[in-house]
Structure 1
Amino acid sequence: MAKKKNNDLWRYWGLIIFVIAITGWLTADIGPVGIATLSALSFLWFLFQAPVPCGALNRGDVEQCRNNGRGVLRGCHIKQHQWQKLKALVLRRRWRQISSELFPNPTTALASVGAIVALLSSVIGVVKSLTGKG
């Protein structure tokens, strides 16, 4: 029998860092530079590694792929799906289409909201550290 990998907790390292960063805002123990760093790391995790459905459009642009994907901006194991969302975000300028791709289902919507909160937290942490109010 093959051993099962014990990577279940490691898959969610960005979410754990996100919780630590938010806790740092509530307790003021980490400081703005630490919070900005942790938030930036969790932001990158949400965009490129969070376990979400792929959601890339299949042939005919009718049905979305249901395979497991990696991150809000990446797709599944299919080569054409891997960067389809990021390309669509960069090339298309229609906000309705972008929002429908970032919020197609609850799992991806939570990852998208987490990425937005992590980005804001990181920016606020950098601003506080630069202004010396932290």
Structure 2
Amino acid sequence: MGKTKLLTKKRKQFIWRFWGYLLLPVIAVAIWSTQVGAAPIAIMSGLGAVYMFMLAPVPCGAPIRERGRDGEELYCRRNARGILGGCNQNRQHGWANAKLLASRSKWGEFLRRVLADGKGFAASVSALATSGATIIALGALIVSLLK
């Protein structure tokens, strides 16, 4: 009877790809615990926000040049890294998403495309939660340092 490895190559790849989501319950427990200070919460939630915005697997959603049968605009369906990034196959898609966020009138279109898919929805909600936790923890850290 041989040894079985706890962390196989496949499990290591899974953990490496989704470490930001695995960090979310740790952040939640740290927030509700009275033993953890504001600095570790700010660091963990900041790392979680960076993961969601730059590394989380989400659909690209950038507009493409082709049109649908009824003339509507079509969007890229490839996998992307992060809410703000585009797909790896086309560098222009990352810039297309950035242009949408730069113009305030296009925010609704950007959110509609990101929230249409389950992975994009999970990344968006998690990015909002970790960003809020980062801001609150940094505020608490500043207040505690000023006392």
Q: Which has the higher strand share?
A: 2
Q: In 2, are the aligned partners of 1:85 and 1:101 still within 8 Å (CA)?
A: no
Which is worse superposed, 99-108 or 39-48?
99-108
Q: 1:114 aligns with which of 117, 126, 142?
A: 126
Q: CA deviation at 1:70?
A: 0.4
- 2:48 maps to which residue? 42
- Residue 87 of structure 2 is matched in structure 1 by 76
The yes-or-no answer on 1:89 pairing with 2:101 is yes
Specify the alignment match of 2:61 in structure 1. 55
Name the larger-Rg structure. Answer: 2
Q: CA deviation at 1:11?
A: 0.9
Name structure 2 gaps, 5 residues minimum.
Answer: 1-8, 68-72
Match of 2:76 in 1: 65
Partner of 2:6: none
Q: Secondary structure at the match of 1:59?
A: strand
> After TM superposition, which residue ranges in structure 1, 4 or more long, deviate above 3 angstroms?
none
Using the alignment, how far apart are the partners of 1:46 and 1:117 within structure 2? Answer: 10
Matched residue, 1:19: 25
Deviations 1:70-113 (A, max 9, x none): 001111111221332122201x1214223324423222121111
Q: Percent identity?
A: 30
- The root-mean-square deviation of aligned C-alpha atoms, in Å, is 2.0
Aligned length: 129
What amino acid maps onto 1:82 in structure 2? Answer: G
